[in-house]
């Protein structure tokens, strides 16, 4: 079975021949991996990764877009007067095009492309503390800001699908360690309607849709389902989201991408605990429902020896060895 077929079966809530495996690794530990394996792609090939996370496309705003403000904080009203970039500047999607060629066409992997959400996309513009304050102070203006962002996001996502990605991956961190960063009521009023613009467009194309949200977002899980998300990443156990509860209550409605927690499990030299956690999670989902992956980027303090220990075991355990 091709890797891509294995991932699609899993997302469709069918039983794959084995659990698909992947990991967010290149950002912090890619150089270590390349020293041992010759290149990061050689590591992906060695462990027969089943899916790939693609980055590329234009930024939402030009690097000098805010120069006229002289360094002062950007308000929602300011932002409405600052133009966004052209999401249809296809020459800026070269990274995604090359990723599709390398992973999907040459290796048969399932590919998904990172696309902006609503809240997270504007934290870099406003600063997260200001943004949280603006939710209370400038709701009317934020509706306008978010609608413009959502329409840009939709165009970006459609371009990714036109190029050949299998899944649009929307990145939007809303969670703290135990709850949302804002109230569920705020989420329904200000976040849900503007996710829906992209989600509806992706689902109308018959494509898969995934959400990355760090932290605990259980209080709006019904809304995530209503939006049509197929996959959620990471379902963070270190933020109070139990995988055993997911398995019992939500498997068959959503698929988890995650299972290997970078905050508690990998990168701490606790090899026996790491081994037990890998076996626990892979054993729980041997009949489907999981794309086994790290919960976020593996941190730089993780040694290469621990990483190899983990992925040797993942490779074997995913195959029932």
In this prediction, residues 133-155 reach a mean pLDDT of 98
In this prediction, residues 309-313 reach a mean pLDDT of 98
Q: What CATH number does the domain located at 3-23+30-254 have?
A: 3.20.20.210
Strand order in the sheet with 231-233: 51-54, 110-116, 167-171, 208-212, 231-233, 255-260, 290-294
Instruction: Give yes or no for a contact between 174 and 221, defined as CB atoms under 8 angstroms apart.
Output: no
Contacts of 25 (CB under 8 A, 6+ apart): 33, 40, 43, 294, 297, 298, 307
CA distance 20 to 288: 9
Q: What is the DSSP string of 92-129?
A: GGHHHHHHIIIIIIHH--EEEEEEE-SHHHHHHHH-HH
Q: What pLDDT score does 321 carry? A: 82
Task: Quote the tokens at residue 174.
Answer: 């809303």
Strands 110-116 and 231-233: what pairing? unpaired
pLDDT in tens, 254-275: 999 999 999 999 999 999 999 9
307 has a pLDDT exceeding 90: yes
Q: What pLDDT score does 227 carry? A: 98
| Look-up of token digits 């709701």 | 139
Instruction: Give yes or no for a contact between 233 and 256, defined as CB atoms under 8 angstroms apart.
Output: yes
Domain spans, the chain: 3-23+30-254
pLDDT in tens, 201-229: 999 999 999 999 999 999 999 999 999 99
DSSP code at position 175: B
List phi, psi (to 5°) of 26: -65, -30
pLDDT in tens, 46-91: 999 999 999 999 999 999 999 999 999 999 999 999 999 999 999 9
Burial of 320 (0-12, 13-18, 19+ CB in 10 A): exposed
In this prediction, residues 26-30 reach a mean pLDDT of 97
Q: Which of 2, 1, 11, 8 is nearest to 289 (CA)?
A: 11
In this prediction, residues 193-204 reach a mean pLDDT of 98
In this prediction, residues 138-142 reach a mean pLDDT of 98
In this prediction, residues 173-192 reach a mean pLDDT of 97
Q: How many residues in the chain? A: 321
CA distance 293 to 218: 20
- pLDDT, the chain, mean: 97
- Roughly how many angstroms between the first and final C-alpha of the chain, as a whole number? 18
Q: What pLDDT score does 99 carry? A: 98
In this prediction, residues 36-51 reach a mean pLDDT of 98
**Roughly what angle, to the nearest 10 degrees, separates helices 119-126 and 139-163?**
120
């Amino acid at each position: 079975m091709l890797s891509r077929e294995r991932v699609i079966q899993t997302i469709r809530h069918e039983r794959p021949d084995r659990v698909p495996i992947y990991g967010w690794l290149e950002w912090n530990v890619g150089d270590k991996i390349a020293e041992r394996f010759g290149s990061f792609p050689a590591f992906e090939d060695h462990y027969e990764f089943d899916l790939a996370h693609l980055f590329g496309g234009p930024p939402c705003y030009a690097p000098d877009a805010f120069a006229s403000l002289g360094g002062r904080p950007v308000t929602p009203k300011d932002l409405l007067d600052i133009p966004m970039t052209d999401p249809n500047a296809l020459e800026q999607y070269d990274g995604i095009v090359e990723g599709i060629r390398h992973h999907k066409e040459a290796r048969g992997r399932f590919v998904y492309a990172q696309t902006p959400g609503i809240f997270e996309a504007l934290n870099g513009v406003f600063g997260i503390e200001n943004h949280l304050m603006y939710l209370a102070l400038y709701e009317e203006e934020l509706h306008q800001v978010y609608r413009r962002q959502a329409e840009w996001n939709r165009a970006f996502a459609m371009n990714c699908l036109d190029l050949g990605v299998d899944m649009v991956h929307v990145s939007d961190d809303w969670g703290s360690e135990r709850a949302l960063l804002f109230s569920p009521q705020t989420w329904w009023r200000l976040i849900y309607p503007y996710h829906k613009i992209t989600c509806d467009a992706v689902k109308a194309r018959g494509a898969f849709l995934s959400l990355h949200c760090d932290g605990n977002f259980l209080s709006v899980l019904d809304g995530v389902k209503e939006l049509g998300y197929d996959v959620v990443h990471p379902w963070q156990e270190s933020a109070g989201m139990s995988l055993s509860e997911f398995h019992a209550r939500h498997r068959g409605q959503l698929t988890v991408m995650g299972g290997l927690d970078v905050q508690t499990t990998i990168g701490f030299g606790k090899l026996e605990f790491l081994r037990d956690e890998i076996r626990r999670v892979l054993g729980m989902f041997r009949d489907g429902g999981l794309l086994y992956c790290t919960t976020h980027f593996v941190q730089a303090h993780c040694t290469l020896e621990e990483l190899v220990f983990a992925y040797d075991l993942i490779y074997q355990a995913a195959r029932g060895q």
